Structure 1
Amino acid sequence: MSSPTNTAPILTVQALQEGCAACSMHQLCLPMGLDEADMLRLDQIIGRRRRVKRDQSLYRMGDTFNTLYAIRLGHFKTYQMNSNGSQQITGFQMAGELLGMDAIGTSRHQCEAVALEDSEVCEIPFVQLEALFQDMPVLLRQFHRIMSKEISREQGVMLALNNMSAQQKLAAFLVNLSSRYVTRGYSATRFQLRMTREEIGNYLGLAVESVSRLLSSFKKNGIVDVNHRDLELLDLPALRSIALGTPAC
C-alpha cells in the first residue's frame, strides 16, 4: 500500500494566499501585527467570505449576535429606527473596518447594516475569536485598539455635529472620507460618493436640499468639483478650514 499523500501544507498555503495575508485591507483589520503562524490560526476560524448585494441587509436590529464582519470590499451604512418609524443613519463603513461590534455587550445588534453597493465581508465567529484572544495577546490588543478607535471616532462625530454649522458639517464629512480613503491607499482628492445626498443629509442632520446647495456652493468657490456622485476635492486645505469654522465661503 502506498503511503498517503499529505496535502495539508498545500491547502494551508493556498488558504493563506486567499485569506488575510493576501487581503489589501489586512493592515487595517484584525491581523495587523500577527506573524504567519498566528495569521494562519485566524484564517482557520473565518467561516466564509459572504457577498452582500446592494441594498441587502447584513444583519438587522435585534438579531442575535454571533459574528463580526470584516469588510473586504464595498461600503455599508448602519442605521437605527426613530420612534416615528424613520431611519436614522449612524455611520458609513468601508473596506478594512469591522461591523457588528455594537452587539458585543448585549448579544443583540443595536442597528441594521445595509450594503450601499455590491460588497463582500469576511465572517469571524466571535466565540472562536475570543478563544484565540487567550493565546494571542497581540490579536487581543489589536481588537481593543480597533474598538477604542471606533468609540473615539463616533464620540468625536457626535460632539462635532452638535456644534457645527451646516457648512462645517458637510466639509468635515468630506474631509473624513478623504482621510479614510488615504489610509486605504486611495486618492485623497478623487473618489465616488457611495451614499446618496439624502443619506448624507440624514447622517448629518441636514435636509437633502441643504446638502445639494452646499455642494453647489463649494463647487462655485472652486473647493470641489462634483458630477453626480463623482467628487474631486480641489482645495482640501480650504475644506479643512471650513470644517474648523474659518473661513466660510
Structure 2
Amino acid sequence: MATPVLDLQTLRKGCAHCSLQQLCLPAGIGVEGLQQLDSIVRRRRPIARGETLFRTGDDLSAVYVARDGAFKTISISEDGEERVVGFHLPGELIGLDALGDERHRCDAVALTTANVCEVPFDQLADIASQVPGLQHQLLRVIGRSVGRDQDHLDMLARRQASERIALFLHGLAERFRHIGQSDAQFKLPMSREDIAHFLGLALETVSRGFTRLQEDGVIEVDGRRIAILDRVELDRLAHHPEAADARRRVSN
C-alpha cells in the first residue's frame, strides 16, 4: 500500500488559517512536526463578544489562539474594579499566564466574536520535546509575551498620559505587523474604556490624548480606525519624549 503523500502547502495553509503560524511556520519545522501539531489542535465553536474563554483560578489545560477576533485579559481588584492586564490579537497565544503555577491568574474575555484554536498544553509540551524547532519557537513566543508584560509596566511608569498612549499605539502597530497585518492602518478591537483601564488613565484623558495626537498630525482617528501619519514622531513620543517635547516647543 502506497504511503499517502502529505501536501505540505495544504497543511501550511491550514496551520496559517488557525493562526498557529507563530509556532510552526517561522520555525523551520518539517512535515512530520507540522502534522503532529495539526493533529492535536481543536477548533472550538465561535466565542461571542463578552464571553469568557477561561477564568481566574481555572487549571491550565490548554493554550489558545484566536484565528480571528481578539481578547482582553482582566483581573478584578478587591473593590470590584476591572483592570485590563493584556490584549491578544489573532495568532497570539492566550493562556500563558498559567505557566507558573498551572492556574490562570486572570480572565480572558472576547472583545469581538472570535474563532479559537485550542491546543492541549500537555500534548503541546510532548510534541515540543520531540521537535526542536517547535520547542525553540515556543520559547520565543513565551519570550514575546514576557516582553509585552514588560512594555505594559513601562507604559504605567510613564508620567505623561501622552507618552503612555503613544507607546501603546506604537507597540500595537508592531504587533499588527508581526501577525502579517498593516501597521500603518488598523482597527482597534478594544474600546477607549479598555485602553484607559490598561494604561491606568481616566477615559476622558485617553480621549483627549487621541485628539491631541490627531491635532498634531501624528495619527488620524475615525471611530476605532487608526491611521499612523507620522511614524517618526510616534516613535519619538513613545521612546524619546524629551526630544518630542523640545520639537513641540520649537514649533510653537
**Fold shared by both chains (TM-score > 0.5):** yes
Aligned residue in 2 for 1:23: 17
In structure 2, distance between residues paired with 1:117 and 1:243: 28
Aligned residue in 1 for 2:229: 234
**Structure ranking higher in helix proportion:** 2
- From 10, 26, 30, the equivalent of 1:32 is 26
Aligned residue in 2 for 1:106: 101
- From 140, 158, 166, the equivalent of 1:171 is 166
Aligned residue in 1 for 2:69: 74
In structure 1, distance between residues paired with 2:164 and 2:230: 17
Aligned residue in 1 for 2:244: 247
Kept in 2, the 8 Å contact 1:31–1:139? The answer is: no
In structure 2, distance between residues paired with 1:65 and 1:132: 17
Give the count of matched residue pairs.
Answer: 243
Question: Match for 1:62: what amino acid?
Answer: G
TM-score by length of 1: 0.89
In structure 2, distance between residues paired with 1:9 and 1:57: 40
Question: Match for 2:178: what amino acid?
Answer: T
User: Is 1:218–2:213 an aligned residue pair?
Assistant: yes
Kept in 2, the 8 Å contact 1:50–1:122? The answer is: no
Aligned residue in 2 for 1:158: 153
Question: Match for 2:74: what amino acid?
Answer: Y
Residues 188 and 24 of structure 1: is their aligned pair in 2 closer, same or farther, counting only changes over 3 Å?
farther
- Farther-moved stretch of structure 1 (35-44 vs 24-33): 24-33
Structure 2 residue matching 1:92: 3-state secondary structure: strand
Deviation at 1:27, TM superposition (A): 3.5
Question: Match for 2:202: what amino acid?
Answer: A
User: Is 1:135–2:130 an aligned residue pair?
Assistant: yes
In structure 2, distance between residues paired with 1:142 and 1:128: 16
Deviation at 1:153, TM superposition (A): 2.4
Aligned residue in 2 for 1:55: 50
Structure 2 residue matching 1:172: 3-state secondary structure: helix
Kept in 1, the 8 Å contact 2:64–2:95? The answer is: yes
Residue deviations 1:148-198 (CA, integer Å, cap 9, x gap): 221122123203421341110001111111111122222222111111111
Deviation at 1:30, TM superposition (A): 4.5
Kept in 2, the 8 Å contact 1:29–1:97? The answer is: no
Aligned residue in 2 for 1:123: 118
TM-score by length of 2: 0.88
In structure 1, distance between residues paired with 2:65 and 2:187: 21
In structure 1, distance between residues paired with 2:150 and 2:17: 29
Kept in 2, the 8 Å contact 1:60–1:111? The answer is: yes
Aligned residue in 2 for 1:201: 196
Residues 228 and 156 of structure 1: is their aligned pair in 2 closer, same or farther, counting only changes over 3 Å?
closer
Kept in 2, the 8 Å contact 1:75–1:194? The answer is: yes
Mark the runs of 5 or more structure 2 residues left unpaired by the alignment. none
Residues 36 and 10 of structure 1: is their aligned pair in 2 closer, same or farther, counting only changes over 3 Å?
closer
In structure 2, distance between residues paired with 1:164 and 1:120: 38
